[in-house]
Structure 1
Amino acid sequence: MQTAVAPSPAVGPDSGSADAGFSAETLAPSAPRYLASDFCAYLETYLPPDQVSECYRAYLFGAEAHEGQKRKSGEPYIYHPLAVARILAEMRMDYQCLIAALLHDVIEDTLIPKEQVAATFSEEVAELVDGVSKLSQIAFNSRAEAQAASLQKMLLAMTRDIRVILIKLADRLHNMRTLDSMSPEACRRISRETLDIFAPIANRLGINRVRIELEELGFAHYWPWRRRVIQCALQRTVGARVEMVGTVETALKQALQQESIQGAVEGRRKHLYGIYRKMRDKSRGFSDLVDVFAFRVTVDRVDTCYRVLGLIHNLYKPVPGRFKDYIAIPKTNGYQALHTALVGPQGIQIEIQIRTEDMQRVAESGIAAHWMYKAGGQSPANPAALAADWLQNLLEMQREAGNSVEFLEHVKVDLFPGEVYVFTPKGRILNLKRGATVVDFAYAIHSDVGNNCVAARIDRRMAALSTALRSGQTVEIITAPGARPNPGWLNFVVTGKARANIRGYLKNIQQREAQVFGQRLLTTELASFNLDLDHIDPIRLATYLADANLRDLDDLLGDIGLGNRLATLVARHLAGNESDESASETSRDGDVHPHRLAIRGTEGMVVNFARCCRPIPGDGIAALFSPGRGIVVHRSECRNLGSLESKRDKRLDVEWAKDPEGEFPTEIRVEIGNRRGALAVVAGAIAELGSNIETVQSREKDGMTTDLEFQLLVNSRAHLARIMRRLRLIPLVTRITRITRS
């Protein structure tokens, strides 16, 4: 059988490097189709005959499996897997990967099971194919959830075998090349996903030739008008600067020849999506961009790169602050080069990158260079080793994530390349996302370091954990065995690993607190039936757990503590009083039910005190269930409670324990005359009575008086009353009120 498929010109030797920011002048054009025999002939250039035969056998197997199926364009479906395999062949991938590419849709789109693929070829091939296949047999609530779950499955399969993502990238690349046959809505959705997920993954793995084409095709389909505007502006610029490009190329070549340096010089413009992204991120117009043109100098050795840098800086004046040494400090995907910006002819800024031939191959192929050139070894810039570190982070994020959507959110955060380079006290370099803080740095070292960090020194000076880091700083993390993550860290961390670890820890803490609190709630309700947890009928409990799809009693107690399940209804079922609906409902109004839950203030995250009324011990209180949070306690007179009658199914009868523990926030407004030092006098009086001031805000009223709003920590209503009486003794104070917000 000789089947035709579209070629993949953008992964050939003339493609540009993403880090260099180059691209071909146009998107991949339509071209004559490859035959299956051409594909096998190409494989013979680097694979032994027996492996080529296995690939052809896989092609025949796939063609038979997809018999009768057609793509949206009307072509036989087998065209697609053969094109995907061709893309991977041009990366010099091994034959097992090529076989999996030829069969990558067999499990998902045909009746052939994974077991048959394993028996016909190998377990390794079957695992690769299964890793790429979507989760089509599971029902999801939304397209977003289904997409997230399938991507999570693929990324986790990638942690076991990196070739899974290479197959998926090749699959997405060919789909993008043939996107014109899809509906406009599907084009935009697929292009958005490509720009958000797959192009960044290709960049993270250093496969920059693929990344460039994914970005260009995604840009063309998602923002066609913006692309057209930039392309027209570039064409006008190219016409005016062709002479300049030729002048610079000639000057660079002559400088190399004079020093007897063997090297290639190439000048190109940056690719359209890269230009658009710079305009968007830096809020600049096209006319404000000064480095649309870039030049690449490729030499034989690393030391020659630095010699060439000196020659170039003698030839043209460098732009201060624009030099980057990615050879000494490689990017997270293994990319290495020297970057410098110069003031060229006619005062036009140009960008020049200097690299070796090996660096050029890694810049284009990234992790694929591991198969293509057998490069890497133990070099710190080895893409395979760097990818392994990233995959380890993915596994950790997956363990900490609550669901597939949250996991995908963490991955998206982690996909964008780092731009801050900081040092540990021992001289190790860490590459972090721009805006990364001390806490991000701590988690980048190790999860335990992040969980236990309490302070830090930046360049030997104490610094807050929220401090944003700058390149070149040396950061020392101070830890304490009993320290734990703070929920407030989520407000400033920027890396996916830090965010996933903090959320995971908080969820575990909340779950444990929810179980303890749920036990108190259920015990209180069971008491009305003269029961306790130790004397529940085990058969009735097991039946209830099975019906509720819960694993054990701890899961049930956690559900109750989080407000996802009402303790009253659970107690009724466990007591065997399911039919007593009216009695249960009556018990919720507080008149019949004698049992109230005592609030101690030590329940943790499952008991929340409403910010609108700030209840404190001594206030009359009422509580409402809030699914996923536990209960929210209000003051009885709080307007936000609304009609308790309409919310009695969510209402919980509560009261303060006899000896509440801890401090509780409350707010007061103090009207005071405008005098120098007035705030200090009021703050001093509050401190005298053992209260901490959390926040203070001032607002001038009429030029004569000022309103001071304090958020205080008190231990009871009596404590607050003593503070207010003390403040009234201050002559400048004209009025004091407790604040209740609507």
Structure 2
Amino acid sequence: MIDADDLLSLVRNYNPKTNEALLRGAYAYAQRMHEGQTRHSGEPYFTHPVAVAAILTEQRLDDATIATALLHDTIEDTKGTYTEIETLFGHDVAELVDGVTKLTNLELSSRESKQAENFRKLLMAMSKDLRVILVKLADRLHNMRTIRHMKPEKQAKKAHETMDIYAPLAGRMGMQWMREELEDLSFRVLNPEARTSIMRRFVTLQKETGDVIPRITEDIEAVLDKHGLKADVFGRAKKPFSIWRKMQEKDLAFSRLSDIYGFRIITGTEDDCYRILGAIHQRWRAVPGRFKDYISQPKSNGYRSIHTTVSGRDGKRVEVQIRTRQMHDVAESGVAAHWSYRDGVRVQNPFAVDPAKWLEGLTERFETAEDNEEFLEHVKLEMYSDQVFCFTPKGDVVKLPKGATPIDFAYSIHTRIGHSCVGAKVDGLRVPLWTRLKNGQSIEIITAEGQTPQASWIDIVVTGRAKAAIRRMLREEDRERYIKLGRELARVAFEQFGKKATDKALDTAARAIGLKDGDELLARIGSAELSARRVVARIYPELAGRTEQGEVEAVRAVIGLPSGTEIRRAQCCQPVPGERIVGITYAGRGPIVHAIDCGALAAFDTAPERWIDLHWSEGRHAAVHNVTIDVTLSNTNGALGRICTLIGEQNANISDLHFIDRKPDFFRLLIDVDVRNAEHLHAVMMAVELDSDVASLQRFRDLERRP
């Protein structure tokens, strides 16, 4: 394990002015908090946060981020608290540690809707301070490096989560080295046979041809010397997963793969980059369609480089990347370059992108998603996409993901242009709308009045924005037809359970699912976006049995709380399923769940960091949620007994009675009732209020009854 002196030495290599007291204090505190804890491997748990900190020193990150890495598990896994960390290490570090803790509690590999919802929360956490996700990525990298000590099913879950979310996120942030390593570590878990096969073939190739990397490196250096150009040349073989992905995408056997070697040429100036490109192309034949100039058209994460592929020694294809030292720093660190230090000061790298602007550019394309599944589709499309740069007839640049079509181009300009698109010209020539666009092409969109999107466009376009706009338009066009079909499907589904699909039942189901009204519900059923059986199961779960939603009798009732956290409802407002809720954190006690309209929340308006976004899980809840109702009742024989009977007939349990005012003709009492959800509570109160002896009835809420 790296000791404190060694870690400080790693930091001083790039930041001689480091705050030694802060890092030593964080090291000692975390070591004390994790004392006695072990990892799956049997090693002391503290080896993990130290390794995470060491990974971040490779990115030359600031002291607050290194301290956060050391402390990132203390709030979740030890007796350490936010308040204690803030007192010892300052507000900045405490906020970062709290942010990493919240990210750790997101289970991103669960079913689609929850995964999308949690990814929204991940982006929210990133927007507060991007260093949070840098620590989380380093945390995940070390966990993947040591994943062999976990149980096989846990390994598979973590590997899928890493491949789906963390690896592409690292790539999107510009940390390509981390993306490649995360992918390859996940590949080792998910498809070990394929990875072993790739490695075996690669070893065989090296035996047959020798190690070609030094020879090609010498060839490139000789060309540069001939033209008087100074640069450093580095060569490497591509990672096994990168080779495997290329084999799958292009449906090629390993023997037919050619560009499995990559070379980087790092020089002093931008002018030298283009001179080197000329020298390389003069010496070797360029492969058509394999040239990208990310210097003149940089990626959104600040990445700049020239990419070209040439037929090198013995006809082998070789990928060459040409960039300056500053460009290389951004290429290695990505968005993290914004916080990089060198010689004790923040590096003023002109190519480092502003994290706030980068995140804004990433998230603005997701805002058009209408539901969680659509949002997740946007995320995965954006995360995995490379980019192409095309031009409008006026010369404006439009960035699109790799594989984009003229329809994507049209929607990226304006939704109206996308809807009315009937054709396109690429570099002045008419092309089919399914044509895949390439870098540097000029696109002209041909429109016509009265044109509307075709259903087949959904399978042609690749951008989330285009897919969402087309779906919305198709839904509007076919709305009446879908409503009619949906009504018939709903009628049949309801009749299977002896019920009628009345307008009231449909409106109730729509509200439960989060749709506007019954017509919108029917349109979704008719367009096959929603099953009629799911609708029936939502409002009659006891009849439908265990539906695809599942009952929530024995699972967590609140989504958003840390794993293993006990549900603690605020007694001032007594929230129940069906009501909007929010969590408020308390030092040393865990979060308390409040109703969103609770008057007690006003006291926390100045402390937004204590608020947690929560919601009730879907499905049928057990009748265990205690609510107090305030009843003023006529003092007549049998009145109270009758009220108790009415509550029992609604399948609700009375847990307590408390008289607060007795008069000769009336008395007032508080009744504690256990209910399933807001609808169940409404049914109970309606039954009681209809009794002739009840003078008044209301839900009792008392701000003095704090948890």
TM-score using structure 2 length: 0.62
Give the corresponding residue for 2:425: 458
Distance 2:300 2:170 in 1: 12
Alignment match, 1:430: 398
Matched, 1:204 2:162: no
Does residue 322 of structure 2 align to residue 357 of structure 1? no
Q: Tell me which amino acid in the other structure corresponds to 1:335.
A: Y
Counterpart of 1:96, as a letter, is A
- CA shift at 1:173, angstroms? 0.4
Deviation at 1:549, TM superposition (A): 12
CA distance change for structure 1 residues 457 and 232 in 2, over 3 Å: closer, same or farther? closer
How much has 1:287 moved relative to structure 2? 0.7
SS at match of 2:50: helix
Measure, in 2, the Cα distance between the counterparts of 1:213 and 1:89: 17
Change (3 A) 1:120 1:267: closer
Q: Quickly say closer, same or farther: Cα 1:287–1:489, change in 2 above 3 A.
A: closer
The superposition leaves residues 531-552 of structure 1 with CA deviations (integer Å, 9 ceiling, x where unpaired) of xx9xx9xxxxxxxx9x99969x
* Alpha carbons of structure 1 residues 83 and 484: separation in structure 2 relative to 1, 3 Å: farther
What secondary structure is seen at the aligned counterpart in 2 of 1:335? coil
1:254 pairs with 222, 240, 253, which one?
222
Q: CA deviation at 1:207?
A: 0.7
With over 3 angstroms needed to count, the CA separation of the structure-2 counterparts of 1:478 and 1:254, relative to structure 1, is: closer
> Are 2:103 and 2:125, in contact at CA under 8 Å, matched by a contact in 1?
no
Cα offset, 1:175, TM superposition? 0.4
Query: How far off its partner does 1:503 sit?
Result: 5.8
CA contact (8 A) 1:295 1:353 kept: yes
Structure 2: how far apart are the matches of 1:39 and 1:256? 39
Q: Is the 8 A contact 2:338 2:354 kept in 1?
A: no
Question: Aligned runs of 1:384-423 on 2, under 5 Å?
Answer: 384-385=353-354, 388-389=357-358, 391-398=360-367, 400-403=369-372, 405-423=373-391
Structure 2: which amino acid aligns with 1:558?
Answer: K
Secondary structure (helix, strand or coil) at the match of 1:133 reads helix
| Aligned equivalents of 1:138, 1:301: Cα separation in 2 | 44
Select the residue among 324, 328, 332 that pairs with 2:292. 324
Query: How big is the shift at 1:347?
Result: 3.2
In the other structure, the counterpart of 2:270 is 302
Shift of 1:260: 2.4
Counterparts of 1:626 and 1:324 in 2: how far apart (Å)? 51
In the TM superposition, residue 349 of structure 1 has moved relative to its aligned partner by: 3.0
Letter paired with 2:236: R
- Give the corresponding residue for 2:21: 53
Identity, % of aligned pairs?
A: 39
| 3-state SS in 1 of match to 2:233 | strand
Greater Cα shift, 249-258 or 188-197:
249-258
Determine if contact 1:331/1:418 at 8 Å carries over to the other structure.
no
* Residue in 2 that maps onto 1:715: none
Say which one has the larger Rg.
1
How much does 1:395 deviate?
4.8
Asked if 1:558 is matched to 2:526, the reply is: no
Q: Equivalents in 2 of 1:557, 1:265: separation in Å?
A: 58
1:226-245 to 2 correspondences below 5 Å? 226-242=194-210, 244-245=212-213
Q: Mapping of 1:339-354 within 5 angstroms?
A: 339-354=307-322
Partner of 2:458: 490
CA distance in 1, matches of 2:431, 2:516: 38
Note the 1:131-280 alignment, pairs <5 A.
131-134=99-102, 147-242=115-210, 244-280=212-248
SS at match of 1:73: coil
Aligned position for 2:573: none
Partner of 1:475: 443
Q: Describe the shift of the 1:559–1:210 C-alpha distance in structure 2 as closer, same or farther (beyond 3 A).
A: same
CA distance in 1, matches of 2:109, 2:257: 45
Aligned in 2, Cα 1:512/1:48: closer, same or farther, shift over 3 Å? farther
Measure how far apart 1:34 and its partner are.
1.0
Pairs aligned (count)? 518
Deviation (angstroms), 1:161:
2.1
The 8 Å contact of residues 156 and 395 in structure 1, kept in 2 or not, is answered as no
Q: CA deviation at 1:558?
A: 3.3
Give, in angstroms, the shift of residue 48 of structure 1: 6.3
- Cα distance in 1, alignment partners of residues 61 and 49 from structure 2: 15
Q: Deviations over 1:708-729 (max 9, x none)?
A: xxxxxxxxxxxxxxxxxxxxxx
User: Are 1:418 and 1:431, in contact at CA under 8 Å, matched by a contact in 2?
Assistant: no
In structure 1, how many angstroms separate the alpha carbons of the residues matched to 2:10 and 2:318?
39
- For residue 255 of structure 2, the aligned residue among 252, 268, 287 is 287
How has the CA–CA distance of structure 1 residues 470 and 392 changed in structure 2, closer, same or farther, with 3 Å as cutoff? Answer: closer
After TM superposition, the score normalised by the length of structure 1 is: 0.60
* Kept in 1: contact 2:388–2:437 (CA 8 A): yes
Matched AA of 2:385: P
Residue equivalent to 2:338: 370
**In structure 2, do the counterparts of structure 1 residues 70 and 408 end up closer, same or farther at CA, with 3 Å as the change threshold?**
farther
Query: In structure 2, the residue corresponding to 1:397 is in which secondary structure?
Result: coil
Aligned equivalent of 1:88? 56
Q: Which residue identity lines up with residue 516 of structure 2 in the other structure?
A: G
**For the structure 1 residues 354 and 111, does the alpha-carbon distance in structure 2 shift closer, same or farther, using more than 3 Å as the test?**
same
CA distance in structure 2 between the aligned counterparts of 1:560 and 1:210, rounded to whole angstroms: 48
Partner Cα separation in structure 2 for residue 198 and residue 487 of structure 1: 33
State how far apart, in whole Å, the 2-side matches of 1:505 and 1:82 are.
Answer: 53
Contact 2:510/2:521 (<8 A) preserved: no
Aligned residue in 2 for 1:336? 304
Shift, 1:220, TM fit? 1.8
CA distance, structure 2, for counterparts of residue 163 and residue 455 of structure 1: 46
Residue type matched to 1:248 in 2? I
- Verify the 8 A CA contact 1:227 1:272 in the aligned structure 2: yes
In 1: Cα distance, 2:161 partner to 2:109 partner: 19
Q: Does the aligned pair in 2 maintain the 1:134–1:150 contact within 8 Å?
A: no
**2: distance between equivalents of 1:437 and 1:322?**
19
Contact 1:455–1:463 (CA under 8 A) maintained in structure 2: no
Say if 1:563 and 1:626, in contact at 8 Å, map to a contact too. no
Residues 329/246 of structure 1: CA separation in 2 closer, same or farther (3 Å cut)? same
Q: Report the Cα distance in structure 1 between the residues aligned to 2:307 and 2:105, rounded to whole angstroms.
A: 49
Residue-by-residue CA offset, 1:178-197 (whole Å, 9 max, x unaligned): 10110112212212222222
Preserved contact between residue 510 and residue 517 of structure 2 (Cα < 8 Å): no
- The 8 Å contact of residues 337 and 359 in structure 1, kept in 2 or not, is answered as yes
Shift of 1:483: 9.9
1:477 CA displacement: 5.5
**Residues 654-709 of structure 1: per-residue CA shift (max 9 Å, x gap):** xxxxxxxxxxxxxxxxxxxxxxxxxxxxxxxxxxxxxxxxxxxxxxxxxxxxxxxx
1:514–1:557 CA contact under 8 A, matched in 2: no
194 and 112 in structure 1: CA distance in 2 versus 1, 3 angstrom threshold: same
Q: What stretches of structure 1 of length at least 5 have no aligned partner?
A: 1-32, 522-532, 537-544, 565-604, 611-623, 630-645, 648-742
Q: What pairs up with 1:715-734 in 2 under 5 angstroms?
A: none
Contact 1:335-1:359 at 8 Å conserved across structures: yes
1:94: how far off? 1.6
Amino acid of the structure 1 residue aligned with 2:363: L
Query: RMSD across aligned C-alpha pairs, in angstroms?
Result: 4.5
**CA offsets 1:394-418 (integer angstroms, 9 cap, x no match):** 2551563423x54333211111132
Q: Is the partner of 2:516 in helix, strand or coil?
A: helix
Residue 391 of structure 2 aligns to which amino acid in structure 1?
F
Cα deviation 1:155-214 (Å, max 9, x = unaligned): 221123221221111011010111011011221221222222211111111112222221
Deviation at 1:100, TM superposition (A): 2.4
Question: Is the alpha carbon distance of 1:151 and 1:370 closer, same or farther for their aligned partners in structure 2, counting shifts above 3 Å?
Answer: same
Asked whether the equivalents of residues 300 and 358 of structure 2 are also in contact (C-alpha less than 8 Å), the reply is: no
